[in-house]
A and B are shown apart, each in its own frame.
Chain A
Amino acid sequence: MTDTAAGTVHDRRGGLLRRISDTLFRRPHLLLTLLIAPPLLWLGIVYLGSLLALLAQSFFSIDEFSGMVKREFTLSTYAELLNLANVDVILRSLVMAVAVTLAAALIAFPIAYYAARYARGRWKAFFYLAVMLPLWSSYLVRVYAWKLILAKEGIITWLADKLYLTWALDAILAIPVIGGPSLSISYIGTFLVFLYVWLPYMILPTQAALERVPANLLEASADLGAVPRQTFWTVIFPLALPGLIAGSIFTFSLTLGDYIIPQIVGTSTYFLGQAVYTLQGTAGNIPLAAAFTVVPIVIMGIYLSIAKRMGAFDAL
């Protein structure tokens, strides 16, 4: 009875909008499709599409004679990628990314642990601020500041001199491969700046994971007679691991792709990002640049699948 009444009301006011609304109400799937289409199109066309266009470029090659791009399928660009000099660039970036990630995890964990379990009230706010604060200022400014700190006539050298520790600094700089004429002209310097710049991205997810470890589990562990070290390794660490891994995805991928830090601090040897940047510019060697960009995509693919197995995405 009421239904028919409502129906008549409908019919009387049945404009276009009303009819659309009715159709959508009757077919929830259609509504869902319409709502999800724009973001899907965005992802599909703008993001994946451009990515695929880039990947396709890597199967072209550059003409030996004219230096123009030949639009024919070939694997010769990938063969070129395996030149020793290019492999050097890849390995260098990879080793740096791994080193930065491990060091960041090592430093971030105690900070995150303190912030999550001990800091209260105002202190907690202070911790959040202290971790986030560097992210508010320009990335470039921070990197330039580090160049000055690490310079031969910079703060660290000055401090070492005042503390009669110049011999220690010299010993560090004398280490083959990673040493150099000064901290700012060595792999150690590049490493330190990377570590500083990406550290907040490791601390925040780790802290979030640690905060989610229920206190009653720790009490239960203690009740059952576990010493603190056992509690740490069997309860806290496994539960915090997804957070650490989530953080490592940031530090690892950001280090792998960065092309500004190694240009300002370091020995001028190329990292992946710089190689791509230089090759796609005046050189016009887009195929090789594209092949280079495939490398971090593959590395990150492998890395993410391992991270997924270890439960990094359960914490999201």
Chain B
Amino acid sequence: MNRMKRTFVSVIAIAALTGLASAAEMKKEIGPGEGQVNIVAWPGYIERGETDKNYDWVTDFEKKTSCKVNIKTAGTSDEMVALMNEGGFDLVTASGDASLRLISGKRVQPINTDLIPSWKTVDERLQNAPWHTVDGVHYGVPYQWGANVLAYNTNVFKEAPKSWNVVFEEQNFPDGKSNKGRVQAFDGPIYIADAALYLMKHKPELGIKDPYELNEDQYKAALELLRAQRKLVGRYWHDAFIQIDDFKNEGVAASSSWPFQVNLLVADKQPIASTIPEEGATGWADTTMMHSEAANPNCAYMWLEHSINPKLQGDLAAWFGSVPAVTAACKGNALLTDAGCDTNGLGNFDKISFWRTPVAKCASQSAGCVPYYRWVSDYIAVLGGR
């Protein structure tokens, strides 16, 4: 009797498991649209002309497909993961520090690239990028990317700083005053990778190969560097607009930043410029990913195709200060102009180590890497001065 019960339970368990597995399989064809699609996106990523009527890449899509686009903006990767865990959304524009987590948490489903005719136009360097491709399976369509550049005040620096050491090591700036209290750093734990990238060039004996795959010793060295940096940094930046304000009103002379802030500051005639120093830089590459239980998969696939058309890609790059995932977008876009892609950093691809969620099981370290949850608690400690 008891054994029968057990067999029965395991049969049910197996049935449930296979059921789950088939639910996560990718689509074979696109049916008629469901009438709507729900997207979690970064602010400014999906514009329907409400802020500036020149920047509108939703209205067309809605007319063409009759899929109404509902947007929920999220300010941080954390929020995006939380929203996707909650469910009720079809797509998310996930950055590399969230995408692998979404994949391993089975929140997103594999994408059938055959159903996306424009897939082959995507920048080849992004097509198999490790932040959305696991074991050869694609979990999303690249959307936009950019670098975490070094922004600096041109009144303080007559020529661009050559190294990130201006934010990592105590020194006098060219204007003769110390950098203490005049530099900023990003307040997300992913910034530990910036320190690791710096150490990669300046302490080769640590043997860091990848700033997102650190063993205990390399990780400790990165934290050490960040603790020294804490003494130089007044406030860490989190919100792009607060950082813009800090550049204007708090006398910040150098900081890691996004082209987005730099473009806005330059447009505001502030003495700010940006550079990518000799060590290279970290960067973000965002991928539109599809929820594993998406209620509107057909409209979602239509949006995925729409999301990489050159017009949208170029307009978005102009709006956000990012680089298109489709290089064809760099030519002939009125809003971006032909120089736009270079301004936003198209040529820097090879100098960028793109954001990726650090995981325990990693390729370059046989003993395993320090996983992200430890980055979080340790970065809280660093910010607290410990």
CB nearest neighbor in A for B368: A65
CB nearest neighbor in A for B187: A268
Q: Establish whether residues A148 and B383, one from each chain, have CB atoms under 8 Å apart when the complex forms.
A: no
The 9 closest A-B pairs by CB, nearest first: A281-B78, A85-B381, A181-B181, A283-B376, A268-B236, A151-B249, A185-B234, A67-B371, A181-B234
Tell me the complex Cα distance, A222–B368, Å.
78
Interfacial residues of chain A within 131-148, with CB under 8 A of chain B in the complex: 147-148
Q: Establish whether residues B234 and A280, one from each chain, have CB atoms under 8 Å apart when the complex forms.
A: no
Q: Establish whether residues A148 and B245, one from each chain, have CB atoms under 8 Å apart when the complex forms.
A: yes
Question: Beta-carbon contacts of A152-183 to B below 8 Å, as 1s and 0s?
Answer: 11100000000000000000000000001110
Tell me the complex Cα distance, A284–B97, Å.
12
Q: Establish whether residues B380 and A282, one from each chain, have CB atoms under 8 Å apart when the complex forms.
A: no
- Count contacts on B: residues with CB < 8 A to the other chain: 45
Given the interface pairs A152-B251, A275-B380, A282-B98, the reply to whether A266 lies near B373 with Cβ below 8 Å is no
Q: Establish whether residues B101 and A284, one from each chain, have CB atoms under 8 Å apart when the complex forms.
A: yes
Tell me the complex Cα distance, A81–B334, Å.
54
Q: Establish whether residues A282 and B81, one from each chain, have CB atoms under 8 Å apart when the complex forms.
A: yes
Residues of B within 8 A of A (CB): 76-79, 81-82, 97-98, 101, 105, 180-182, 187, 189, 233-236, 238-239, 242, 245, 248-251, 357, 359-361, 368, 371-373, 375-378, 380-381, 383-386
Q: Establish whether residues B249 and A152, one from each chain, have CB atoms under 8 Å apart when the complex forms.
A: yes
Measured between C-beta atoms, what is the minimum distance from B213 to chain A in Å?
14
Q: Establish whether residues A184 and B250, one from each chain, have CB atoms under 8 Å apart when the complex forms.
A: yes
Tell me the complex Cα distance, A54–B347, Å.
48
A-B contact pairs, 26 of them (CB 8 A): A66-B371, A67-B372, A80-B377, A84-B386, A85-B378, A86-B377, A86-B380, A88-B381, A92-B384, A151-B249, A152-B250, A153-B249, A181-B180, A181-B234, A181-B251, A184-B235, A264-B242, A268-B233, A268-B383, A270-B380, A279-B373, A281-B81, A282-B78, A284-B81, A284-B372, A285-B373
Given the interface pairs A151-B249, A152-B250, A268-B233, the reply to whether A282 lies near B385 with Cβ below 8 Å is no
Q: Does A305 contact B (CB under 8 A)?
A: no
Q: Establish whether residues B250 and A182, one from each chain, have CB atoms under 8 Å apart when the complex forms.
A: yes
Residues of chain B with a CB closer than 8 A to A66's CB: 360-361, 371
Residues of A within 8 A of B (CB): 62, 65-67, 80, 83-86, 88-89, 92, 147-148, 151-154, 180-182, 184-185, 263-264, 266-270, 275, 277-285, 288
Report the number of A-B residue pairs with Cβ-Cβ less than 8 Å. 125
Q: Establish whether residues B245 and A147, one from each chain, have CB atoms under 8 Å apart when the complex forms.
A: yes
Residues of chain A with a CB closer than 8 A to B187's CB: 268
Residues of chain B with a CB closer than 8 A to A269's CB: 383-385
Q: Establish whether residues B377 and A185, one from each chain, have CB atoms under 8 Å apart when the complex forms.
A: no
Residues of chain A with a CB closer than 8 A to B189's CB: 278, 283
Residues of chain A with a CB closer than 8 A to B375's CB: 283
CB nearest neighbor in B for A285: B373
